[in-house]
Every structure is written in C-alpha cells, then in structure tokens.
Structure 1
Amino acid sequence: MKVLITGAQGFVAKNLIVHLRERQDVEVLQFSREDSISTLKEMLLQADFVFHLAGVNRPQNPEEFKTGNTDLTRAVCDGIVASGRKIPVLYTSSGQAELDNVYGLSKLGAEQALNELAGERDIPVHIFRLPNVFGKWARPNYNSAVATFCNNIARRQPILINNPDAAITLVYIDDVIAHFIAVMDGKLSGDPFVAVEPAYEITVGALAAQLTAFRDSRETLITEAVGTGLVRALYSTYLSYVPPELFTYEVRKYGDPRGVFVEMLKTPDAGQFSYFTAHPGITRGGHYHHSKTEKFLVIKGKACFRFRHIVSSEFYELFTTGEKPEIVETVPGWTHDITNVGDDEMIVMLWANEIFDREHPDTYALPVGTEA
C-alpha cells in the first residue's frame, strides 16, 4: 500500500511518517512545499491513500492562505480525478473553518473542494477539524503554546501569559495519529468529519503550572501523576523538549560508615523509591512502623532479613541474594533489620508507601534482638 503525505516536513506529518514506517505493509510518499504541483500529480498516480496535511497558518502575505490551503487542496482533488481511481483522502482542517477570518475561509474552501470530490466522484473523504495538537517535534515560538512553554520552561527561559484563565482545547499527537491510521485501515470513518478523542480542556495558567512542576520535580523528587490522561501526554511532550545536556540530573547522596542512601523518586500518594548500600557485616534498620510499609529488593550481594513481633516476640529470619529477584516486605508491628552477610558490597532497592516525614516519621528504634 502506497500512502502519500502532503506537508511531509510538518509536525503532524513527522509523527505520522514514523508510525507508518513501523509497518511492513506501507510505503510512504512524501510531498513538501519544495516540490512542484507536477510532482504532486505524479505521486497521486501511485498513491492508494492520501494524508493531506499540508497547509499554511502563519504566512507573510494573507494571499498565501488561499494558495496554501484552498488552491493546494483543489490540486490534490484534480490529481485524484486525473488518476481515474477512487483514492481516499484524509484532510487536516481546523475549527476555524467555522469562523469568518481569512485563515478559516481558506480551510473552509479546502473542505468544500473535498466535499465536491466526494459527492461527484464517490471518493471517500475524511476531514479532521483539529484543535490545538501537541506532542513531540512541534515547533516552539510558532503557533503552539504547549511547544513554546515546554521549550522555554525546560531551559528556564521566560514565558508570556496574557490571560492565565483563558481555556484551550488540546489533542495529543499520538491520539491524532492513532485516529489517522484507524481511518486508513478502514476501522474508523466520518460523514465526512472525524473527531479525535480524547480532547482535553485546560487553562493557559494551569498548563504553565503543570509544565513548571515537571521541571521542578528534579529538585523535589516528587513526580506528578504521569501515568494516564493529559498529564501523561504533557509529561512526554515536556521531556521531548529537554536538551541533551539536561538528560541527566544529580540527586543527593547520604553516606556514613555503613554505606550510602539515595532517594530517587517520590509520589504525592504512592510513596517513594530509593536505594542503599551496606558494607560486609553491616546491619541496617532495627526499627518498626505502626502504618508505614516497605518493599526491599536486593540487587547485589547477600542479605539476611530478621523480624520480631513487637508484642508477641515471634521471630523470623530469611536470606535473599541479588542472584534471585525476590521482594521482601516489612509488616507493621514487626521490628526488622537487614545485614550484609556476603563478602562484597550489598545494594538494595527500597520502596516505601509514603514519603518520609521528618516531623512524623512513624519509625521507632527497637533492635530485633530485643524481646518484648
């Protein structure tokens, strides 16, 4: 299957091209503004599907709206007619096609040309009136607040907010591409309009605050809830604007004669992650918790975990090594410790179900050897 993508150097097209190249059944033909209309017509003779993504939204001359949107779309339609085949077309329009401005009218004209093609030639046409699309590779300081904010906040450069309460509607690039490919594969269609879901609503001020929180998390170690929804998409987008020289950042290391302790990541409601080391013969712990729980994973060395119930004095002992991934959980009401019983340094990953609170640590010293 040969797929033609117009506007091949644009933000949306770049993402689409990468996704299509991951498939063995698709060959991508690329048309960009450097190519001629005759080249476009030649490509249309080969194409089995057209992603018409080319467009003009910030020209130096307003006349370019018509030539870059309406006229180019008519050229696509003419090329499809000349091919003598019913080549499906997916077009990226804009919500501004409903507005009375030069850009909106040029997009509306493109939609009308495609609808005429569909009506007169019975050719499948799918129109996406996209709101603000965000994601990796959008150009900052152009027409995307998300791209500009991500770029500047990551680099600690100023951002300009005229009205923090202004609401914007966003769709994420990966969701857009998923819808595009579903249309191409015949799994999704419109009559002729197709909407991308989910669409997210956020204010400009809230957007800036969220992106700033991503940056500041490197210092606080407290991560946002980046696993689902808009926050997940914004976090992935934000990271794509971090320059290579900022791919790494240091965290604090606490050391004493026993070894070191390093906190890696904290969450507002699901605890924190850290690791510690212990030299041969060193014992760590010797305390209990009322509510706090922990998970330990020895990733290097040999460990002996000891537990004693703080009321009944019941005792339990177990051994684990880095050779066998095995989680050891601490249980409220049992004092516990861990000893390096090997000949080399021991390294242990640790998750606690809550962020350590120095004012209320829920950690009470009691040697495991002490009976109730």
Structure 2
Amino acid sequence: MELKVGITGQSGFMGRHLYNYLSLKEELNLVNFDRSFFENTERLEEFVKSCDVIVHIAAINRHESQEFIYETNVGLVNKLISACEKTDSKPKIVFSSSTQEERDNLYGKSKRDGRNLLEKWAEKNEASIASLVIPNVFGPFGKPFYNSFIATFCYQITNGEEPKIINDSTVNIIYINELCESFYEEIKRNTRSISSKLVEHTSSNKVSEILSLLYQYKEAYMDKGEVPNVPMKSFELNLFNTFTSFIPKSYFPRSFIKHTDNRGAFVEIMRAGVSGQSSYSTTVPGITRGNHYHTRKVERFAVIKGKASIKLRKVDSDEVIEYFLDGDKPSYVDMPIWYTHNITNIGEEELVTLFWINEPYNPDDADTYFVEV
C-alpha cells in the first residue's frame, strides 16, 4: 500500500534533503507542502487530509528574539493540530525535536512544549505521534551562519575567509542522509502509539578537528586538484561532500598541466588519496551521455579529445549550469552529489572522456539515479 507523506518545512535544509531522499522510495507518495500553507487555513486543511504521515520539521532556530522563536514554533504546532481537528484527520505525525529540549533556552522549550501539545492531541484523538530527538545535523547545501557551524566553516573557507572557533567543544553530530534514514524507518513503522526516540549521533568530534579536516580538503582539493583520503561511507566522505557543495560553480572547469615534446603530449588526469574506478568513453557528435545523479559518490569528468558541453542541475532546482571543455586544452569538472549531470559531444570529431569515481560500480548499491538535466 502506497503511503502519502507530507513534510512541513519542505523548503528548509532538513526538509529539502528529506524530500529528495524519500522521493527515491517507490512505496511513498510525497504530498507537496509550501510554507504559505500555515497562513492559509484552507490549504493547510487540504494538506493534512491528503497525508497518511506528516513529518513536522517546520521551525526556526535562530532569531534575535528568543520569544519570537518560541511563539513561532509553538504556533506552527497549534496550527497543525487545529487543521487536523477541524477536518477530523488523524495522520501519523513524526515530530522533529532536538536534544536542546532539556537546555535552558526558548528554542529547546518550544520543541519540548510542541511535542507535549502533539502528544496530548494524539492521546485525545487516538492518533499516533512519534518524536525524534535529533542531535546537531550537518550536510551539503546548509545555510551558513544558521544551520550549523560546519556550513559556516565550509562557506568561509571556500570563499577565502578565516573561520574563528569560539568554543572548542566536542560536538555530537549526525549526517543529513543518516538522519533521513531514521525518518524513513519511523515513517514505515505501522504503529498507533505515542513515542519519543533519541536519534543517536554518528560522529563525535572537537570543533578544531573538523576545522583542520576542512582546511586539508581545501589545500588538497581546491589548491592542488587532488581528492583527499576519504574512505567510502565514512564521516570523512560526508564532511568532504559537504565541503565541496559550498565551492562556487565558477571554480570549474579546471585546466590540466599539459606536457608536450617531440613524442607528443602527457597529462596527469587524477591524483587521489583514496582508491576508485577509472574508465573512459568515446562519444560521436551530437550524442549525450549521463543524465543521472549520485547521493554519495565523488566523480570526475576529464575531456582529453574533442569538444564537450557538461551540464549540471540540482535535483530540486530548475537552474542548469553549463561548462564547455576542449580536448586541445584538457580540463575537468567534478560532479557534486544531488546534481544530475550529462555530457554532450558538441564538436565534429569523436569525443574522448576519462571518468574517475571514488568507488567501484556495484549494481546492488549503484547510487545512480536517472533524471534528465
């Protein structure tokens, strides 16, 4: 049976990632949500009636007024409850709470009181509420100076600024894809109950250790064009993919150093501190390859012969980025995660492209999703 799932806060950092992640699950039917629904009673009521499960993420966590944070977050919960009661809807609600629930601040209090309100609604209406108490979250496309210190550090380093550590504490964190998996497991759980679960952090690091890794990525990747040692399915790979998501798109394409003599030419294509898979393709004029994206893989396209157009588009955006490469001046473009991409031969001769990816292709876990750019 197909589950209809809606996400409040769909356009925010966590909501956007969760929407993209759940869109890959064939048994789920996603119900679109817009932030304007909270100001339109009729649209909000239509939304709650359409959902079997609602993941309530919408909230603010930073504002100059703590009182505004509290009133806004509790107000959103009350609007959601009111819409459910008015329409006699009883969707399972998965509530995004925070480990700050027990801290002495109004953001934490708004999460605690919001959870209590939802639990009282569920008990009164014999409905289901599952609260996930979430640690600090990081991942690609976060909003600097808002979502996490990692987003701030990545933005500053990739834009030539110098981050400052205010408190070099040990931070318990979880990568956004890992958090999305926790949400998915709770969405699938077919229970009518009132529950609260602490989502365990997956990494514990000092702020200075994370900053040191980010500087290493900058030196190796941005300054030298090398992929650093980031083992597959590791905290380091997750941090690296987060870092690269902040690199300005004007950084590519990158030119290789071409050595020529009377024998011909030599170009070093790839230097990496991690193993991977190398391959090449030939493409006849006018043909396009690709039109797929990855959620974890690091991939490089290097054009060594012919003329090519490389296009990229973030899967939840209409903006298309295009690069032009020419084998007479060998260069490369790396593919960011969650960007569908393709390559087209726009010349009159055969196009030769070399590919490198940080993990061998596994048909049982391909991490390759086909979507037109």
TM-score band (shorter)?
A: 0.5 to 0.7
CA RMSD in angstroms comes to 3.3
Determine the structure 1 residue equivalent to 2:268. 263
Following the alignment from structure 1 to structure 2, what is the Cα–Cα distance between the partners of residues 137 and 269? 24
Following the alignment from structure 2 to structure 1, what is the Cα–Cα distance between the partners of residues 17 and 191? 19
Following the alignment from structure 1 to structure 2, what is the Cα–Cα distance between the partners of residues 211 and 66? 34
Q: 1:188 to 1:139 in 2, by over 3 A?
A: farther
TM-score (norm 2): 0.66
Following the alignment from structure 1 to structure 2, what is the Cα–Cα distance between the partners of residues 247 and 195? 41
| Higher Rg of the two aligned structures | 1
TM-score (norm 1): 0.66
Determine the structure 1 residue equivalent to 2:320. none
Q: 1:260 to 1:194 in 2, by over 3 A?
A: farther
Tell whether the 8 Å contact from 2:37 to 2:44 is kept in structure 1 after alignment.
no
**Alignment counterpart, residue 19 of structure 2, candidates 17, 20, 25:** 17
Deviation, 1:172, is: 1.0
Cα displacement string for residues 12-62 of structure 1 (whole angstroms, at most 9, x for unaligned residues)? 111122233445541323041574151323321222211111112112333
Aligned pairs, how many? 281
What is the identity, as a one-letter code, of the residue corresponding to 2:15?
A
Determine the structure 2 residue equivalent to 1:93. 97
Counterpart mapping for 1:1-372 below 5 A: 1-23=3-25, 25-32=28-35, 35-36=38-39, 38=41, 39-163=43-167, 165-186=168-189, 192-197=195-200, 199-218=202-221, 219-220=223-224, 221=226, 223-268=228-273
Cα displacement string for residues 259-278 of structure 1 (whole angstroms, at most 9, x for unaligned residues)? 33333333447699899xxx
Following the alignment from structure 1 to structure 2, what is the Cα–Cα distance between the partners of residues 189 and 175? 25
Cα displacement string for residues 219-241 of structure 1 (whole angstroms, at most 9, x for unaligned residues)? 44362224221111111111111
Unaligned ranges ≥5, structure 2: 281-303, 306-351, 357-373
Cα displacement string for residues 321-360 of structure 1 (whole angstroms, at most 9, x for unaligned residues)? xxxxxxxxxxxxxxxxxxxxxxxxxx999x9xxxxxxxxx
| Aligned-pair identity (%) | 27
Deviation, 1:182, is: 2.1
Tell whether the 8 Å contact from 1:183 to 1:189 is kept in structure 2 after alignment.
no
Unaligned ranges ≥5, structure 1: 276-298, 301-346, 352-372
Q: 1:250 to 1:212 in 2, by over 3 A?
A: farther
Cα displacement string for residues 102-136 of structure 1 (whole angstroms, at most 9, x for unaligned residues)? 22111110111122123333322111222221112
Cα displacement string for residues 67-108 of structure 1 (whole angstroms, at most 9, x for unaligned residues)? 222222122223223332431001111111111222211111
Q: 1:144 to 1:269 in 2, by over 3 A?
A: closer
Q: 1:247 to 1:192 in 2, by over 3 A?
A: farther
SS in 2 for 1:71: helix
Greater relative contact order structure (CA < 8 Å, 6+ sep): 2
SS in 1 for 2:16: helix
